[in-house]
Amino acid sequence: MSRRNIRASSVLAAKSHNPNLHDPSLHAPGLHELGARDRKAVRRSARIVAAATLFGACALFGAQLAAQDKGDKKLYCWNENGSKVCSDALPPSAVDRQRVEINQTSGTAVRAVSRALTDAEREQAALAAKTAESENDRLRRELAMVHTFATEADLERSFRNRFELLDESLKGSALSAKNLRDSLLRLLEEANNDELENKLVGKRTVEKIRMQKQELRELLALEQRQSKERAELDVQFKAALERYRELKKAMAEAAAQGTTLLPTAPTPSPSGG
């Protein structure tokens, strides 16, 4: 028997034992077994499937957003000419009016907007905010004073130094004024004697008298200002000491309650929008 006949006999024998030997579904080639054209076709099909999946996801997301927007749609209600008006759109004429915004899906009010302030109300609100800010600044300074001086004695010592400086200045001004007054009196007496003796008062003496009178007036004015500052400082000290005691007591009470005396930020005025 020839070699070709032997190979054919072997194939027939294999078919008789395994009838599925030539089933194409059992021998599908892998991607590496395909030709270049077939591999491109497979990749193109994969890209088409991926693009379709992405497009479907985007469409689903857009539908969700549309549903959300529809669910969040508002109904605006306001008073106009004594009547209640509601609309799903807010006209420009109602922007500054007091209104209520209602969720159309749930029917519940989601926001209340106050009317816009008038010019006079805005000016009054600005003035009130400025006043509150000034009060807060004052309270901060007073609290800083309490934290700076642990005891009343420390506060008194701080004022005592200022009192001593002013007292020394007052003494110096008073002494200078006394000396200048004495010098001026001597010059005036000298000029008076010359006149009594029918002598002409010298120009130098006249000039000295004029200059010393001017200096004495300035010294007396300075002494008066210093005396006023001394009196004002005394008032400041008494007020500071009284306020110090009040804040010390208030801080102790606040600490016992777990609160603070620090000012809070002012609440902004409501406005339409």
Residue 40: per-residue pLDDT: 65
Residue 21: per-residue pLDDT: 46
3-class SS of residue 90 = coil
Residue 272: per-residue pLDDT: 44
Half-sphere exposure of 269 (CA within 13 A, CB side): 15
Query: Number of H helices and number of E strands within the chain?
Result: 5, 4
Counting as low any pLDDT under 50, the low residues of the chain are 1-31, 67, 266-273
Q: How far is CA 184 from CA 178, 195, 205, 211, 221, in A?
A: 10, 17, 10, 9, 17
Residue 98: per-residue pLDDT: 86
Closest CA to 228 of 161, 157, 168, 170: 170
Residue 227: per-residue pLDDT: 96
Two tokens, residue 209: 């008298």
**Sign of the C-alpha dihedral, residues 93, 97, 103, 107?**
negative
Residue 259: per-residue pLDDT: 85
Kindly list the domain boundaries of the chain, sorted by start residue: 3-69, 72-113, 120-257
Residue 115: per-residue pLDDT: 81
Closest CA to 177 of 208, 216, 212, 209: 216
Residue 235: per-residue pLDDT: 97
Q: In this structure, are residues 174 and 219 in contact, taking their beta carbons and an 8 Å threshold?
A: no
Rg of the chain taking only CA atoms, in angstroms = 51
Strands (E), 104-180: 109-113
